[in-house]
Homo-oligomer: A and B are copies of this chain.
Amino acid sequence: MKLITIGREFGSGGRELGQRLAETLGFAYYDSEIIREVAEKTNLSEAYVARMVEKRPFPLFSITHGGTFSSAYDPHFALNNTIYNQQTAILKDMANRSDCVIVGRCADYILRELSPLRVFVYADMPHKMARCRERAPEGEHLSDRKLAAKIRAVDKDRRQYYEFFTSQKWGSRECYDLMLNTAMGIDACLAAVTALVK
């Protein structure tokens, strides 16, 4: 099975790259579907789970470091670990079912034994802001300052979530095979990844 995982800064186009890559290569594509499946299995509302998985569990003990901390008395921590564990099982199941592209969800780390092509995409703030504005829900008119703050806040959550569960440094080169600045355009990035996979 071939597997491509994509980590991404918010607003850098990781989802578009992933979808177009899956389409080009004839691979399955996963991101929010995973959350939906987790939500069904845990009987939690989808919106609640979606909100939870982008936030790291409290308190800040990394589960990969072990230690004596018990989660038994912290329902938030216990719940978020349950979600993570179920995601892990589902990701492994999906990756073993067909060639696929998986965006986010620490898939590069969770599925490391399957030797994924680990991609990370990023861009400078002006490019990410322009991308967010193009795709903003109708009626949303954030100031530049508020939009930049929102982008930084989402990435902070992603970084903390990733680093909590993997003990690796989000967006740092040692965790990835290929890192792409999407300011070059999604077409160019698609060509580069496709050339690597073929």
Instruction: Show the binding face of A for B, using Cβ within 8 Å.
Output: 117, 120, 122, 124, 171, 173-174, 176-181, 183-184, 188, 191-196, 198
**Among B171, B192, B198, contact of A193 (Cβ-Cβ < 8 Å):** B192
15 contacts between A and B (CB under 8 A): A120-B173, A122-B173, A122-B174, A171-B173, A177-B180, A178-B178, A178-B184, A178-B192, A179-B179, A188-B195, A191-B195, A191-B198, A192-B195, A192-B196, A195-B195
Residue of A173, A174, A191, A196 with most partner-chain B CB within 10 A: A173
B residues in contact with A173, CB < 8 Å: 120, 122, 171, 173, 179, 181
A54 to chain B, nearest CB (A): 21
* Contact residues in B for A198 (Cβ distance below 8 Å): 191
A191 to B, closest residue via Cβ: B195
In the complex, what's the smallest C-beta–C-beta distance from A25 to chain B, in angstroms?
14
Is A181 a contact partner of B178 (Cβ separation < 8 A)?
yes
Q: A84 CB to closest chain B CB, in angstroms? A: 26
Knowing A124-B174, A171-B173 touch, does A188 contact B183 (C-beta < 8 A)?
A: no
Which residues in B have their C-beta under 8 angstroms from that of A174? 122, 124
Chain B residues near A120: list those with CB within 8 A: 173
Contacts A191-B195, A196-B191 given; indicate if A176 touches B181 (C-beta within 8 A).
yes
